[in-house]
Structure 1
Amino acid sequence: MSKVPGWRVLCMAAVMLPAAFVVHASTPVIWKLAGHGDFIRGETRGVSITGKGRLTLSPFLDLVFESNEPLIWSLAADSRGNLYAGTGNDGKLYRIDPSGRSEVFFDAEELEIRSIVIDRSDRVYAATFPDGRIHRIDPDGTHAVFFDPARDGGMNGPEGEPGSDPDSDPEGGTGNGTGNGPGNGPSGDTNYIWSLALDAGGGLYAGTGEQGRVYRIDEDGGVHLLAELEEAHVMALAVDGSGRLIAGTEPGGRVYRISSAGAISVLHDSPYGEVNTLLVGEDGAVYAGALSGPRRGARGGRAGTAGASMPPPSTGAPDDPGGAPMLNAVQVTASAEAADRPSVGGFATGGSVVFRIELDGRVEEWWRSQTDVGLSLAIRGENELLIGTGSSGRLYSVRERGVGTLLNELQESQITALSPDASDGVVVATSNRGNLYRLRSTPVSEGEYESDVRDTRGMARWGRIRWESEQPPGTSVRLFARSGNTDSPDQTWSEWTGPYTDPAGEALVCPPARFLQWKAVLGTENEEAPTVSSVSASYLTRNNPPRVHAVTVYEPGVYLRDSAQGQVGQSTQTDLPPVIAAQVGGRGNGRGQSASSGSPTYRKGMRAVAVRASDPDGDGLSYEIYFRGEAEETWKLLESERRTPSYSWDSETFPDGEYVLRVVASDAPSNPPDQALEAELLSEPFLVDNTGPQVTRIDVADGQLSFMVRDGASPLYRVEYAIDGGDWRVVHPEDGVTDSETEAFEVALDGLESGEHTLAIRARDTANNTGTGKRVVTMP
């Protein structure tokens, strides 16, 4: 077997662009799919997706039986190789002999046959739905009602013996449901029989709802209530190697173990609402499938026996992995009302989980799907767990924890039952439509995998397609591709182009378009199968212009340390005007803030602009910044070819007045000069004010200081005075609020001693410019 090389050096010439009819981006995009998570989003027909993330040919599925029924709920095989399939919605039981000949073996009055088991004498026990009964059908077709809860539900106790004591029960547990003699059974209806199981001695067990009862029915028809659980429905049953019964329930999602004497213990208390499938492996481990929705409500308050209490959940379970909320069941039958039935009354949607419960009680999450619902389990070969799912008809194989292989994806919606057959194979039962297949170990001769659709988010031209594969002799891998301008392929898409047969790369010949899809066709002439581990395709999109969303000019004195010209020292001023303090991180409260790279800080005279821009192609951007004063016509360049979306400059080189900035963003860093595109945006007008307020008309008369403060551009922010070099004292204007460009002030000079005094006045505006005034007075 030789390994075929995949992606090598990206060859730009291979893109083979003709003379430019549109401007295209210069950087190609490589769309690569590799691994299980990528491939599972596509569609398979005769192709498996391994747990290691490789595409290969699926095992062959041989069609055994077409029932022409919508549903096959149950499946079993007898010792002679006959298969039995229980169907809905007409309640027919089919028998298919080894030659493939089929017949209606039994026709029930009820709508569905939900569970079947076959004893050592090849007698079939069939549980019907919705009026739960168990019918026994002999090999010659003779049949009779073997168990009817309405008729037999009172026959509960094994010869009137009391429930066993856990201390005397060799299986351990907390009690049983057999503490009543004949005729003294618990009251309440048993409406549904969800599950059946047989032990090695021929004893038949029935899991029922809505009272959570488990019955044991002897071969001679004797009925015993083995246990009544604190759950409404017993959805699944299995018997382990020691003859103990395993039960899965709803709505609490528990896995119970019930001894032959009826002692109950909890193997696993899952965080989910329903355990719907059970299987005991050859090593004794229990596999339990749960629907990954939360519990639908509190468990019922019924006790397992009079005076018995349930034990705490067993330890060793993993932490709750969570899960999507349980969605409404999709009812596919025409049967009874669904108000209190579990979701398996139809087919649930959402995801599911399979747990593995070891003999020592340790619980591991073995498999999980966010979308596929586990409906059936089987073991094939040595510890290969098969999981049948809906609603995409997928069959999974799990050999080790957390590594699931998608073996097959059938055209039917659900895989509702799996059963080993006499030839060491597995028979697969489906619903919507009701068919039977036999799973072979040899691969199909050809299979297809279709990728999901790639949205390039613009008109694209295609480069090369490459893949990594292993191709044993006699096998082949061919790729095809198509393109279109709708998000799902339709008649407007191109035909499939190809085949592409060189994994090292071939030029795609699809027409330019927005969307691309590829498919891989795998083939074999023998029992070997090729594998594909990755597929990559390159493309160039039409170059789209950048977008400038916002241009923000900061308040006077605010600058961004990583965008300032040269080295600008940091001011230690802490009493900034509020509008400025708000942008530099709270300086207005006097606490200050240490500047870090890119964070706004303060320095008198500085100004800063920040740009918010994007490019739909992901191209790098550069910026040119222009300014223009009020009543000016020509834009002057302030900064060019800037690679960061911010810039700070010394505004003291600008005369006072109003200005506007024009920011031009270009994708030139990622495109040839003749193909670069631009976008621009103007800032809001902003004021440059570097001139402080003027203090005028300073006068002292009759012990009163009066003066005027006038600013030519900005409102006043704070005015203070000091006497003889003392502390500054805030003074308010005559109108009470310092908020205008011109304000008048009066201050009473009470308590001044006679003689000469120096009066100083300091005024600041909202741009943090300062003006001062002085007056020397002599007090009498």
Structure 2
Amino acid sequence: MRFRLSVTLLMMALCVATAQAVKPGSWVHQTEADFAEAELEHTIVTNLGEVQLALDTTGLAELEGDDSIIYDIARLDDGRVFLAVGAEGKLVQLDGEKVNVITEFEGSQVFSLAATKDGLWVAISGAESRLELRSGQDMAVKRTIALKDVRYVWDILLDKDRMWLATGAEGQVLMLDPSKEDAAPTVALDTEQANVLCLGIDGKRNVYAGTDGEGLIYRISPQDGGKFSTFVIYDAAEPEIGALIVTDDGTVFAGTADASQARPGRLEEASAEQKGRLEKLTKEPTEPKLPNVPPKPEPKADKPAKPDAPAPKPNAEAAPAEASDSPAPEKPAQAAAPTPEQYDQLRTAVAERLEAARKSGRINLQSDSGSRSAVVQRLRSRASRAGGPSRGATPSKEGNAIYRISADGFVREVFRESVMILRIVKVDSDLLVATGNEGQLYRVSPDTGETTILADLEPQQVPALLDLGGGQVMLGTANPGRIIRLADQYAPEGTLTSATLDAQQISLWGKLQILASTPGKTTIAMQTRSGNVGDPDAGSWSDWSQPQKIDPTGASYHELLSPSARFLQYRLILHADQKTTPTVLSVALKYLMPNMPPSITSIKAEYDKPKPRGDDADAPAPQSTLKIEWEAADANEDALTYSLEARPFGSDAPWVAIAKDLTTANAEWDTRTTPDGRYTLRVTASDAADNIPSQVLSATRRSDPITVDNTPPDLANLRITPAADSAAFTVDITDAASPIHELRYAVDSADDWNMALPNDLIYDSTSESVVVKIPDLAPGRHVLTVRAADAQGNTRYLSQTFEIKAKP
């Protein structure tokens, strides 16, 4: 009861004080970094620092047993969903919350599926790679197409009467007409890379292919007569293109998947600064258009021929390929001859990018590429699929990226993070990006630069995405293997609970200011709780206050209903209106603690160090300026002013002012203005600059004893005893305050000084005696000069003449 009464009186005192009495503290949360420690439940924080509801997710099913990877998902027209599962290759059907195995492919894998009106195409990878068309309720095999000399089928693309296959480990794109019973694959692209990993298509039926090893993106343009024109449109710094999305106008979004760059944690710390919001680009910049002609042929090593397959022609750009069952078509019309300058530009853009590929040669296959361990490793390092080497150059940037390549070839990086980019789906104007190896699903807005982690899943990878239409997406994960549906609407309710906020002292809470947007029928409410123990779960905190509804638009100010305390938490409760989410832009709170006295944690006073003994013959400089420093702080962050005083050590004499109204925590004292002796210093810190006179507080701290000595030592009893060709002298040195530092002597010189040691060999007291013998003196009159210095650098000289008599 006494404690509660004292707190109440304290708060009353604060309330009646003027606004200038105490500077209030504040918390402002408005960036991604500000919300980094908050607890999120069905909410997200964008890279722009906006708090929104997350999209609604539903867990549909989980793989059982040793099945841990979902490579691909396909949905038939009748709504049935099928999965390509590993690590042991299986085709399974999703049935509610269960998965039913349709068939197992012993010794093989299934990485890609494609749904068609006739059924489901299944690409089987292994020693006998093939395509199977399955249909009916029992999903029986209706057709089989053998894929000779193909080890892996990484992607299938259906385009009307064409089927395109991304294959390895010979790095080819195959094309066939599945409507023909005797359909045989045609090599549309034969690369120098080990694997073609992903495919995309634009509105003009141009096909795009991403490779491993060199991170190249090819464009394949079908020509009349069954031929194909190919062209490299981009060479990424990263060694692997893991995902492609192509729009009808030819814009390519390419995601890289360098496994060595997939590291725990974010690539950069969450942004702690507000950077504004990029407006949507109305038009992409374009590059000057040049005739789309190949560069001049340059010599290169031929790729070793495969059995029953022709060796590729030695062109820098892949040569057009012909269907094996078609007569040689007429040569397509050629573009106008390019100028030498255009040749140079094209050669720079293409030929040099293929230089490493021309030198790489054939890539050996690993014998265990189809084993469970190799397949699991596929998700962690796609570059190891065929065991081939990747480019030796290190990427210029860390992490993996998504590049936007316009139809004119202009490249812009729209995303970079320390993840592998496994799949990309375009939903409206945004990209959904599935990643590994921390199981994160991102939403990327290429137009505004906004990036948001939509889901941070328990599984390590998200290898499969299926656009269900209407804004819904199905996710297939790995380690463990799960099916998750991402809805086209937001979670009905979500919360953000702040980290524990520490005011350092029991404080009076101001109003909580929230800047938010609540379109439609969306709402935001706010709650708080407080306590005097740092962990809300480890001590007695107040209950959460009753929710207070936030005003629909603009800034909203709310009285806190929680009692005064040291610690505080707030909780934001967001409610969606189906496909609309409210948005919190910033949260701010001021608090007022009682005026606390300043604190001084240390004071240090010292002279500059004198020169080391024996370093040179120059006399030490007197050390008369004392440098004083102290450390001080104020819990209220008040501006502090300082005063410095001194008095003799051990004395009760009044303090003598050295300096007043200092604003920095340091000072210098010219000790020549005070008598020699031992002194104590006192520094006083005051918060008067930020408080009214009745509430000014101060703190003091005393120094350890310091010595003031500006008087040189005394030299006494100098006696010189001449001999035949030498002399000896003795001298006594004393100092009233400081230890003796050194004694030097010179004979007939002002520059040639010699060190002399005391009788006990150590200068360690205020009184020393010295005996020195001076050899090799010529007959005649000589002048001996001795120079004594104390520890403060004070120096005294004494000279005396003597005579060495000539030998008779």
TM-score bracket relative to the smaller structure:
0.5 to 0.7
Tell whether 2:790 aligns with 1:765: yes
Summarize the alignment of residues 732-771 of structure 1 with structure 2, pairs less than 5 Å apart. Answer: 732-733=755-756, 739=763, 741-747=768-774, 750=777, 761-771=786-796
Closer, same or farther: CA 540–695 of 1 in aligned 2, 3 Å: same
Match of 1:197?
157
Closer, same or farther: CA 258–615 of 1 in aligned 2, 3 Å: farther
Match of 1:606?
625
Would you say the 8 A contact 1:291–1:374 is kept in 2?
yes
Tell whether 2:247 aligns with 1:247: no
Would you say the 8 A contact 2:259–2:382 is kept in 1?
no
Distance 1:373 1:229 in 2: 23
For 1:117, the aligned partner's letter is A
Tell whether 2:405 aligns with 1:357: yes
The unaligned stretches of length 5 or more in structure 1 are 1-15, 157-189, 318-333, 559-575, 583-587, 593-601
Match of 1:578?
611
1:358 deviates by 2.6
Tell whether 2:115 aligns with 1:118: yes
Distance 1:444 1:628 in 2: 73
- Give deviations 1:157-189, integer Å, cap 9, x for gaps: xxxxxxxxxxxxxxxxxxxxxxxxxxxxxxxxx
Summarize the alignment of residues 167-178 of structure 1 with structure 2, pairs less than 5 Å apart. Answer: none
1:628 deviates by 5.8
Would you say the 8 A contact 1:734–1:746 is kept in 2?
no
Would you say the 8 A contact 2:743–2:757 is kept in 1?
no
Partner-residue secondary structure (3-state), 1:498? coil
Would you say the 8 A contact 1:72–1:429 is kept in 2?
no
Distance 1:145 1:73 in 2: 23
For 1:743, the aligned partner's letter is V
1:398 deviates by 1.2
Match of 2:380?
343
Picking from 527, 530, 537, the partner of 1:480 is: 527
1:727 deviates by 3.4
Deviates more, 1:353-362 or 1:616-625: 616-625
Partner-residue secondary structure (3-state), 2:475? strand
Tell whether 2:133 aligns with 1:136: yes
Closer, same or farther: CA 412–474 of 1 in aligned 2, 3 Å: farther
Would you say the 8 A contact 1:47–1:408 is kept in 2?
no
Closer, same or farther: CA 446–362 of 1 in aligned 2, 3 Å: same
Tell whether 2:710 aligns with 1:690: yes
Normalised by the length of structure 1, the TM-score is: 0.68
Distance 2:351 2:598 in 1: 56
Closer, same or farther: CA 662–403 of 1 in aligned 2, 3 Å: same
Distance 2:304 2:701 in 1: 76
Question: Number of aligned pairs?
Answer: 657
Summarize the alignment of residues 300-699 of structure 1 with structure 2, pairs less than 5 Å apart. Answer: 303=303, 314=349, 335-337=372-374, 341-343=378-380, 352-370=400-418, 374-381=421-428, 383-389=429-435, 391=438, 394-400=441-447, 402-404=449-451, 416-421=463-468, 425-431=471-477, 434-435=482-483, 437=485, 439-440=487-488, 444=490, 446-456=492-502, 458-461=504-507, 462-472=509-519, 474-483=521-530, 485-486=533-534, 494-501=542-549, 503-511=555-563, 515-523=567-575, 529-540=581-592, 550-555=602-607, 558=608, 577-578=610-611, 605-614=624-633, 620-623=639-642, 625=644, 627=646, 629=648, 632=651, 636=655, 638-639=657-658, 642-661=662-681, 663=683, 676=697, 678=699, 680=701, 682-683=703-704, 685-699=705-719
Aligned-residue identity in percent:
22
Distance 1:589 1:286 in 2: 77
Distance 2:236 2:63 in 1: 38
For 1:646, the aligned partner's letter is N
1:710 deviates by 0.7
1:207 deviates by 3.0
Partner-residue secondary structure (3-state), 1:729? coil
Would you say the 8 A contact 1:315–1:362 is kept in 2?
no
Distance 1:58 1:648 in 2: 60
1:284 deviates by 0.8
Closer, same or farther: CA 397–693 of 1 in aligned 2, 3 Å: closer
1:396 deviates by 0.9
Distance 2:538 2:714 in 1: 76
Partner-residue secondary structure (3-state), 2:672? helix
1:444 deviates by 4.2
1:401 deviates by 5.8
Deviates more, 1:692-701 or 1:628-637: 628-637
Tell whether 2:28 aligns with 1:32: yes
Closer, same or farther: CA 246–438 of 1 in aligned 2, 3 Å: same
1:479 deviates by 1.4
For 2:716, the aligned partner's letter is T
Match of 1:708?
731
Distance 2:377 2:42 in 1: 39
Closer, same or farther: CA 340–316 of 1 in aligned 2, 3 Å: same
1:506 deviates by 2.0
Cα-Cα RMSD: 5.2
Tell whether 2:28 aligns with 1:19: no
Closer, same or farther: CA 767–409 of 1 in aligned 2, 3 Å: closer
Partner-residue secondary structure (3-state), 2:710? coil
Tell whether 2:238 aligns with 1:276: no
Distance 2:504 2:153 in 1: 57
Would you say the 8 A contact 1:455–1:515 is kept in 2?
yes
Would you say the 8 A contact 1:475–1:529 is kept in 2?
yes
Match of 1:222?
184
Distance 1:336 1:130 in 2: 15
Closer, same or farther: CA 146–494 of 1 in aligned 2, 3 Å: farther
Deviates more, 1:766-775 or 1:455-464: 455-464
- Give deviations 1:314-355, integer Å, cap 9, x for gaps: 5899xxxxxxxxxxxxxxxx9445685341789xxx964311
Distance 1:268 1:20 in 2: 69
Would you say the 8 A contact 1:698–1:705 is kept in 2?
no
- Give deviations 1:405-443, integer Å, cap 9, x for gaps: 56677898865544445x654433354674454643xx5
Distance 1:117 1:580 in 2: 87
Distance 2:13 2:614 in 1: 46
Match of 1:3?
none
Closer, same or farther: CA 777–671 of 1 in aligned 2, 3 Å: same
Distance 1:589 1:258 in 2: 84
Tell whether 2:180 aligns with 1:153: no
Distance 1:22 1:625 in 2: 36
Would you say the 8 A contact 2:605–2:628 is kept in 1?
yes
Partner-residue secondary structure (3-state), 1:341? helix
Partner-residue secondary structure (3-state), 2:378? coil
Distance 1:533 1:282 in 2: 35
Distance 1:750 1:205 in 2: 105
Would you say the 8 A contact 2:498–2:571 is kept in 1?
no
Closer, same or farther: CA 526–452 of 1 in aligned 2, 3 Å: closer
1:360 deviates by 3.6
